[in-house]
Structures are given as C-alpha cells and as structure tokens.
C-alpha cells in the first residue's frame, strides 16, 4: 500500500490561501456584475420620460383629486396711447400667440389696452365699421400712428450719425432698423459702425 504524497505545512497554507483568494475573487466578480446590472437598470429608468412608475390611482384618490392642469404665466401688455405703434403691435401679437387667442377675440381684448387718442380713434373706427379683421386693424393702426409714410427709413438709416452717447445712437439706429426690411445683418453692422464718432469708430474697427 503506497503512502499518500507528503505535503509540507507551507504547501498546505499556500493551497488554503489560493482557495480563499479564488473564492474571494468569485464573490467580488459576482458583486461587481450585480452592481453593473443595477447601475444599468438605474440609467434606463433615469433616461426614460417617467423614471419612476406613477402611483396607481384608487377609487378614493381618483374621485377626489382633480386632474393636473398646465398654468400659463400671467403676462400683460402695456397700454397703447398712440406712441411706438410698431413696438406695441409686436408685443400684442406675442401676447396673443402665447395665449393662443382666437381671431374673433383679438379686437375685443385689444380695446382694453387702448387709451388717450388711440382709444378715441379706436371708438370712432369701430362705430363706423372700419375694422373687419385683426390684420385690417393692425394695418389701420400702423397707418394712423406710425411716422409719416413719406419718410424713407432706409435713407435716414444710411445718413444717421452719432450726435450724443453711444446708447442714444444705438436706440435711434434700432428704431429705424426695425422699419427696414430685407437688409442683411452684416450690412446693418457696417452701417452702424460707420455712423459712430471717428474716435469710437477707430477703436471698434481695431477690435
């Protein structure tokens, strides 16, 4: 009968250490794999439109809780007294677009924002049946209160030069530029720079 092979204590310790390391490595591998799966699931939940499942309504909550509604921001439009008609037309159109106002209601709502000579004009035009549409109203308002149609805003813009501060010059330039249609932005920029005072123009061109 042959004797079992001899193993030294150091060999047995080494084998035990290898077994422990192997077992630990497998455990760590399983833990890392489990963490990866959980992390992937979390990413999928966060990237979905509804990362957390909505609660299931019960008969008690569904009957007592009103449905959620989207509340729009409360906006206001400045009153129009006959000054800056183009600016007021822009704001009132933005206001109606934001609130999805119907064409039938626009004239009625606009009347609440009239005052002074603009209100007197609106009352006279309404009583004489001059407003047949919202677009017709805007055209009539622009014709009545805009600067003289005989003025050429493009020609005035080309001749405009800085007479006071840069802020004042910029305000005049923007007011005229809003009345000019079709000019490219680069051309307007060159026109603006050319109207600056020589000292400021040289600094701007250098930059």
Walk along the chain (207 residues) and give the pLDDT tens digit of each residue.
Answer: 555 555 555 556 666 656 665 565 555 555 556 655 665 665 565 455 444 445 555 554 445 555 555 566 677 778 999 998 888 988 999 999 988 999 889 999 999 999 999 999 999 999 999 998 998 998 889 888 887 655 677 888 888 999 999 999 998 888 888 777 667 888 888 899 999 999 898 888 887
Beta-bridge mates of residue 80: 114
DSSP string computed for 20-46: HHHHHHHHHHHHHHHHHHHHHHHHHHH
Question: What confidence score (pLDDT) does residue 179 get?
Answer: 73
Residue 133, CB-side half-sphere exposure with 13 Å CA sphere: 3
Q: Specify whether the CB–CB gap between 116 and 88 falls below 8 A.
A: no
Question: What confidence score (pLDDT) does residue 137 get?
Answer: 92
* Cβ neighbours for 3, distance < 8 A, ≥ 6 positions apart: none
Question: What confidence score (pLDDT) does residue 36 get?
Answer: 57
Q: Which two three-digit tokens encode residue 82?
A: 């006959």
DSSP string computed for 166-192: HHHHHHHHHHHHTT--S--HHHHHHHH
Question: What confidence score (pLDDT) does residue 206 get?
Answer: 82
Question: What confidence score (pLDDT) does residue 118 get?
Answer: 94
């Amino acid at each position: 009968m042959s004797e079992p092979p001899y193993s030294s204590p150091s060999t047995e310790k080494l084998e035990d250490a290898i077994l422990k390391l192997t077992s630990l490595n497998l455990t760590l591998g399983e833990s890392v794999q489990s963490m990866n799966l959980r992390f992937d699931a979390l990413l999928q939940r966060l990237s979905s439109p509804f990362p957390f499942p909505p609660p299931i309504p019960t008969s008690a909550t569904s009957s007592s809780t009103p449905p959620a509604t989207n509340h729009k921001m409360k906006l206001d439009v400045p009153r129009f007294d006959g000054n800056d008609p183009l600016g007021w037309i822009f704001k009132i159109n933005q206001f109606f677009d934001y609130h999805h106002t119907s064409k039938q209601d626009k004239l009625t709502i606009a009347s609440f924002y009239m005052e002074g000579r603009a209100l007197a004009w609106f009352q006279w035009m309404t009583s004489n049946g001059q407003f047949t549409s919202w677009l017709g109203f805007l055209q009539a308002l622009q014709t009545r209160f805009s600067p003289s149609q005989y003025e050429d805003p493009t020609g005035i813009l080309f001749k405009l030069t800085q007479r006071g501060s840069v802020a004042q010059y910029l305000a005049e330039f923007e007011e005229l530029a809003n009345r000019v249609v079709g000019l490219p932005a680069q051309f307007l920029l060159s026109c603006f720079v050319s109207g600056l005072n020589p000292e400021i123009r040289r600094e701007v061109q250098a930059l």
